[in-house]
C-alpha cells in the first residue's frame, strides 16, 4: 500500500489543503473538494485506496463522493484490473468558470424573484442588475453578447 508521500510529491501534499479550501469555497462539499484537489494535483489517476490514504477519509466517504463527482461528470473512472482509478474530467479553469456561471445564474434568479415583490423604483434598479448579470453570464459562457 502506497502512502501519500509516494503517491504525491511532498510539496503537492502541502498544496492539498489550499486547493481543497478553494474548491470548497466555490461550492463543493469538503469531501469532494479534497478528492478533487488530490486528483488535480496528481500526475496520474488515483485509486480509491490512494484517495483514502491521501485524504484520510473512510472508504464509504470516498465512494459516495466519487459517485457524486462522476454523476456531475467531473471525474472519470478508468478500469485497472479489478480496481478503478480516477482522474478529473475537466480542467481546473473550466471547473472554476462553470462554478462562477452557476453562482451568477443563482444570483440572477434570486434578483428576478425579488424584483417581482418590490416597489417600482427598486424594481427598476433590480431589473438593471439582472440585465448586467445576464450580460456577464453570457460573456463567461463565451456566447455572443
User: What pLDDT digit, counting tens, does each position of 42-55 carry?
Assistant: 989 999 999 999 99
DSSP string, 58-127: -HHHHHHHHHHHHHTTSEEEEEETTEEEEEESS-HHHHHHHHHHHHHHHHHHHHHHHHTTS-HHHHHHHH
User: What pLDDT digit, counting tens, does each position of 122-134 carry?
Assistant: 989 999 999 999 9
- pLDDT in the model for residue 7: 59
Q: In what order do the strands lie in the sheet with 46-47?
A: 46-47, 83-88, 75-80
Model confidence band, residue 36 (pLDDT cutoffs 50, 70, 90): very high
Give the predicted TM-score (pTM) of the model: 0.75
Residue 116 CB-density burial (10 A; 0-12 exposed, 13-18 middle, 19+ buried): exposed
Q: Which three cell numbers stand for residue 99?
A: 462554478
Contact 40, 96 (CB under 8 A): no
Low-confidence winner among 12-16, 72-76, 79-83, 123-127 (lowest mean pLDDT): 79-83
Amino acid at each position: 500500500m502506497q502512502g501519500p508521500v509516494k503517491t504525491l510529491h511532498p510539496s503537492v501534499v502541502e498544496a492539498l489543503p489550499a486547493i481543497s479550501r478553494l474548491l470548497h469555497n466555490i461550492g463543493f462539499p469538503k469531501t469532494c473538494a479534497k478528492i478533487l484537489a488530490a486528483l488535480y494535483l496528481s500526475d496520474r489517476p488515483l485509486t480509491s485506496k490512494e484517495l483514502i490514504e491521501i485524504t484520510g477519509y473512510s472508504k464509504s466517504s470516498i465512494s459516495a463522493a466519487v459517485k457524486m463527482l462522476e454523476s456531475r461528470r467531473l471525474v472519470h473512472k478508468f478500469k485497472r484490473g479489478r480496481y478503478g482509478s480516477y482522474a478529473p474530467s475537466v480542467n481546473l479553469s473550466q471547473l472554476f468558470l462553470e462554478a462562477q456561471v452557476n453562482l451568477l445564474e443563482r444570483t440572477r434568479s434570486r434578483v428576478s424573484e425579488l424584483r417581482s415583490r418590490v416597489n417600482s423604483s427598486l424594481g427598476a434598479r433590480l431589473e438593471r442588475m439582472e440585465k448586467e448579470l445576464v450580460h456577464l453570464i453570457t460573456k463567461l459562457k463565451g456566447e455572443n453578447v
